[in-house]
Structure 1
């Protein structure tokens, strides 16, 4: 999701002491010189339910609160705890605090333990229970016999708006509230706070800001304000335990009703219900026989996909949005069909069979009139901001991936179910197939944008996706006595395969070229050409000549795109990749793992020694993937090529889905070996 052009150099970057917060200074030349600070926050953990998604930093600071959807609205700019002692503020996300963060027992409950150099300790238990749009934060405070005030501070942007918000403190109800139109939030605690302020963030009178009040230990007890509002509350530092409720609602009456319901339930009951809910959900999945070192990452990846999916709508967000201004990328808080296909298939194969049919229903309603799908969508199916609005800038592989998925799923159904499925979905599948036929009149597809949203041309990966889609639709049509369609689509698929191999296979490099651009071969090695084998099966492993091409291709990719970090292996996207410094990607590394596992599976039935070698080849790549997560085991988009730390998007649904797929493949191989 990178930009299609190079933006003018006008920025200077600094890495903040908080670790995962990147601050960027931008200077604007106007009649009056201004400086704007944009903050890109990359989370260390996520929790949530179907109504509320929360992302947090490694010290318990809140980065994002998404309500009522995963894509809209991100309701908060900043949410922090702080301790003011001896006239000095110690924000809990500062460098002075050591932290440990983890999910106990795959529970979906988050624990953060912090220790200050002064001896003050704070333990935070965060939970979003199954049935309520509320974040509950239980704090245990050890003041080390120091005096002062413990503060909670929020800078909300209700409805993603800084302006035109309203905030107030209802003293009788003991609740701070903020709202804009139908976006409401309330903050209430047990015990009640004894100090508060409804302030103005970045106001002309700086002392009216609640943040200024916290930093100076002087909350103004202002009860209401409008505009760019911020709020804070304080407790004596001698307070040993605090339970804070951050409640979201669509109107004031609902907010007050939820407050009464939620505060009448003991905190321990919420913990128990949340723990049992996640335990029950994970138990529904298929049992895996993978090495123990992979299992916890597998279960965390399942939880991530569950949290990023909208069970009502059927769609999934690629990642919680973190670059809201689209300053360094085009944003990630949307649904791409390509990513979603991987997500839904991985969940389906893991035993969660309700997700794929829901997404297929969503696809039926979001298909465009010409049979294609748009570059990306809001989760409700509305078109999202895009640079794929024109024929040449669309991404044809997304339509192909969608049709491929729908046809494969139709074939998996029993005869009666398949007929019902086709009665409802055949028009969608056929219309999409005709779009692919229209875009491949010359065999290779018309120029479009590649899957990386970087180049315009005719791409090996996209051709493989179209081949797979038309091949599977032909099989589905033939099974339903639609012989004319079957013959037409199968013939086109074969032609696409022939032309792709003839025009894009490079014998001297023993690999496919990335693309044909401006009528010339673009010979850059791109990991996406693995798609000719996995998942699209354009190259058939049972065919001797094609199997040789598969092995040559993987060897070339390993040689040309390998990136060693801390003794572990990762795979870059393509040669001379400049995006985010040209890191190895989790997605591309997992593509190679999945391809190697498929070859291992094939050879273990033919030549055990060769099969074992291919199986062992995956280990350093698996090691790279699991050692480059956050300490809470969230898989990123990229891996920092210098440190091996997670980089850029965290967590990425696509990475999580491919990891689930890889562990499932490995589990199957290991199980078959035990049987043999």
Structure 2
């Protein structure tokens, strides 16, 4: 298990540039030109060099830290106070909405009774595209540049003249780290391979109570000329205007979204997370900022799964963000395989990610989402654009049905079992029902009839083959191995998909009611609360999942149990990070984030649960009857 310190305290970005900030306020990871990569951060440390001291880095544990988002924005604030130094630092981290520039706006305040003078120090050594090979580094006109192939990163403080600098090679005698601690800057202007630089700017003198601003810019471009142009554009605008432009962008994005119920605390932050993790150039959304690129404890999270993406797109659609939702379905149209299937997961540019099996549920889920988007918007141009996806995807599912009328075996949505899962059957039936609705709209009567018949057959097969009389519940599915096929009678929370979103069964259907009762009896965590995935789940410690608990909240809202739904929504809020980010899992014994932060799917389910509870949208209008 990896340490939870790998998970960010906050994220910010512009839907192509994505930055992760640690609990100490350090820049932890930064991704560009896409939200999934490359990842370029090696080391970026900020410190103060004061008289009679060595450089004190701002991530030193002696600093007291407070962190939060400015309301209605992706501006992440870290407030630092050092009682020994009698100095406070306010750090506002944000990315410019329309320029690939990360801004760290530092405000340093003298808390001493007398004056204060010193230096601001930054040490930077990037691992461009996660590599220490072939990079170059140089300083020119108060701008530090580190580059490798088609990535040029520049760091500067506009309007400030460097008072000291040195470029060297990390882990060698020329490394400027140790000299910078002592306040020594040797003046080297360039380096090749594993570049490292220390930069200094004069601070003060500040009178007691006085504050000085340092807007540090980290810029990304494809070549030196583009970097220079980008710097000209960013540096020509005062930091306060860049800050206000960013605030206005986010507040405009959140304007017009449905108002959630009272006391729902992380609705707007959830929309912000979904926007940050959606790539604006392609429409793809990633599961989470990548934290495990070496696959030490997982298969990685910085990828787009059509499965997760459906719930993110649906939440955006219901929150009135139709363009972002449509862009996701257009991405799905572009990456669909010729046979109507999806690869398991993708990089956001559409190239294949590593995988361990096909997930047929993703096809059905995306078909359902396309129809939901059309029903919400009535956008005929969109329908005509994605119609080839609908035709290919629906036929892929229909042709996969066996004599048992269940979809052919594939990996389940949890990606750890090969067979005919109940969730996959629900997604495929719901997807075919949605496709038949779209076919009717397009005047394709025969296709509509074929897909409607197939959807009915899958639904009946679920009732006939995936219900367990002994468990009084729908169960995980039929498991396949080279020698046999048998009913896996373990309970699995994913069967909630039978009701929402795919509507094979209404919430008041007796079998659905019995299933939910069984899930809450067997999979509820009685120490920290929350719903586990399935019986015997040991992944990442076998903890309760936030998205499943919120899925249960949606069911209870649809079933007419708002008090229970509100209780479950509150549980999710109570187990968010201190800055309002939702994890994949919470610790099974003590609560609080345990694994993956933030998880896009968790935030999507929070938005869906909040909207359902508020009655802001009639979810039954998204049912596609067969």
Q: What is the deviation of 1:45?
A: 0.8
Which residue number in structure 1 is paired with residue 559 of structure 2? 599
Q: Tell me the secondary structure at the aligned position of residue 112 of structure 1.
A: strand
Farther off after superposition, 146-155 or 255-264: 146-155
State the alpha-carbon separation in 2 of the partners of residues 129 and 314 from structure 1.
19
1:440 to 392, 401, 409: 401
Deviations 1:529-586 (A, max 9, x none): 11111111111346xxxx11111111111111112455xx311111221111111111
Deviations 1:394-450 (A, max 9, x none): 111111111222233345565xx54x5554433321111111112222312222111
Q: Tell me the secondary structure at the aligned position of residue 167 of structure 2.
A: strand
Deviations 1:582-601 (A, max 9, x none): 1111111111111111101x
Which residue number in structure 2 is paired with residue 245 of structure 1? 217
Question: Contact 2:569/2:610 (CA < 8 Å) preserved in 1?
Answer: no
State the alpha-carbon separation in 1 of the partners of residues 332 and 80 from structure 2.
45
Which residue number in structure 2 is paired with residue 351 of structure 1? 320
Q: What is the deviation of 1:462?
A: 0.4
Deviations 1:168-187 (A, max 9, x none): 111xx111110011211111
Question: Contact 1:290/1:670 (CA < 8 Å) preserved in 2?
Answer: no
Q: Tell me the secondary structure at the aligned position of residue 403 of structure 1.
A: helix
Length-normalised TM-score, structure 2 = 0.91
Length-normalised TM-score, structure 1 = 0.84
2:367 to 372, 378, 403: 403
Which residue number in structure 1 is paired with residue 590 of structure 2? 643
**1:668 partnered with 2:612:** no
State the alpha-carbon separation in 2 of the partners of residues 89 and 522 from structure 1.
61
State the alpha-carbon separation in 2 of the partners of residues 500 and 671 from structure 1.
26
Q: What is the deviation of 1:494?
A: 1.7
Which residue number in structure 2 is paired with residue 120 of structure 1? 87
Which residue number in structure 2 is paired with residue 431 of structure 1? 392
Q: What is the deviation of 1:74?
A: 1.4
Deviations 1:47-93 (A, max 9, x none): 12144221111222001212211112212122222345655554322
Question: Structure 1 residues 617 and 536, CA, compared in 2 at 3 Å: closer, same or farther?
Answer: same
**1:179 partnered with 2:147:** yes
Question: Structure 1 residues 551 and 214, CA, compared in 2 at 3 Å: closer, same or farther?
Answer: farther
Deviations 1:211-269 (A, max 9, x none): 33334443433211111112221245656432211111111112122222322211111
Which residue number in structure 2 is paired with residue 657 of structure 1? 604
**1:95 partnered with 2:61:** yes
Q: How does 1:37-76 map to 2 (within 5 A)?
A: 41-76=6-41
Question: Contact 2:16/2:280 (CA < 8 Å) preserved in 1?
Answer: no
State the alpha-carbon separation in 1 of the partners of residues 224 and 464 from structure 2.
65
Question: Contact 2:575/2:592 (CA < 8 Å) preserved in 1?
Answer: yes
1:80 to 45, 50, 56: 45
Question: Structure 1 residues 480 and 265, CA, compared in 2 at 3 Å: closer, same or farther?
Answer: closer
Q: Tell me the secondary structure at the aligned position of residue 570 of structure 1.
A: coil
CA RMSD after TM alignment: 2.3
Question: Structure 1 residues 671 and 69, CA, compared in 2 at 3 Å: closer, same or farther?
Answer: closer
Q: How does 1:210-221 map to 2 (within 5 A)?
A: 210-221=176-187
Which residue number in structure 2 is paired with residue 32 of structure 1? none
Q: What is the deviation of 1:158?
A: 2.0
Deviations 1:347-381 (A, max 9, x none): 11111111222222222211101111111111121
Which residue number in structure 1 is paired with residue 245 of structure 2? 273
Question: Contact 1:201/1:230 (CA < 8 Å) preserved in 2?
Answer: yes
Q: What is the deviation of 1:131?
A: 2.5
Q: Tell me the secondary structure at the aligned position of residue 186 of structure 2.
A: coil
Q: How does 1:428-577 map to 2 (within 5 A)?
A: 428-442=389-403, 443-518=405-480, 519-541=485-507, 547-565=509-527, 569-577=529-537
Farther off after superposition, 43-52 or 586-595: 43-52
State the alpha-carbon separation in 2 of the partners of residues 444 and 340 from structure 1.
24
State the alpha-carbon separation in 2 of the partners of residues 353 and 314 from structure 1.
12
Q: Tell me the secondary structure at the aligned position of residue 122 of structure 1.
A: strand
Which residue number in structure 2 is paired with residue 282 of structure 1? 254
Which residue number in structure 1 is paired with residue 541 of structure 2? 581
Question: Contact 1:169/1:176 (CA < 8 Å) preserved in 2?
Answer: yes
Question: Contact 2:16/2:281 (CA < 8 Å) preserved in 1?
Answer: no
Question: Contact 1:289/1:671 (CA < 8 Å) preserved in 2?
Answer: no
Q: Tell me the secondary structure at the aligned position of residue 291 of structure 2.
A: coil
State the alpha-carbon separation in 1 of the partners of residues 176 and 278 from structure 2.
35
Deviations 1:247-292 (A, max 9, x none): 1111111212222232221111112211122112211323x2501x
Question: Contact 1:87/1:217 (CA < 8 Å) preserved in 2?
Answer: no
State the alpha-carbon separation in 2 of the partners of residues 541 and 573 from structure 1.
20
Question: Contact 1:52/1:70 (CA < 8 Å) preserved in 2?
Answer: yes
State the alpha-carbon separation in 1 of the partners of residues 126 and 454 from structure 2.
54
Q: Tell me the secondary structure at the aligned position of residue 107 of structure 2.
A: strand
Question: Structure 1 residues 497 and 121, CA, compared in 2 at 3 Å: closer, same or farther?
Answer: same
| Number of residue equivalences | 602
Question: Structure 1 residues 535 and 199, CA, compared in 2 at 3 Å: closer, same or farther?
Answer: same
Q: Tell me the secondary structure at the aligned position of residue 42 of structure 2.
A: strand
Q: What is the deviation of 1:621?
A: 1.6
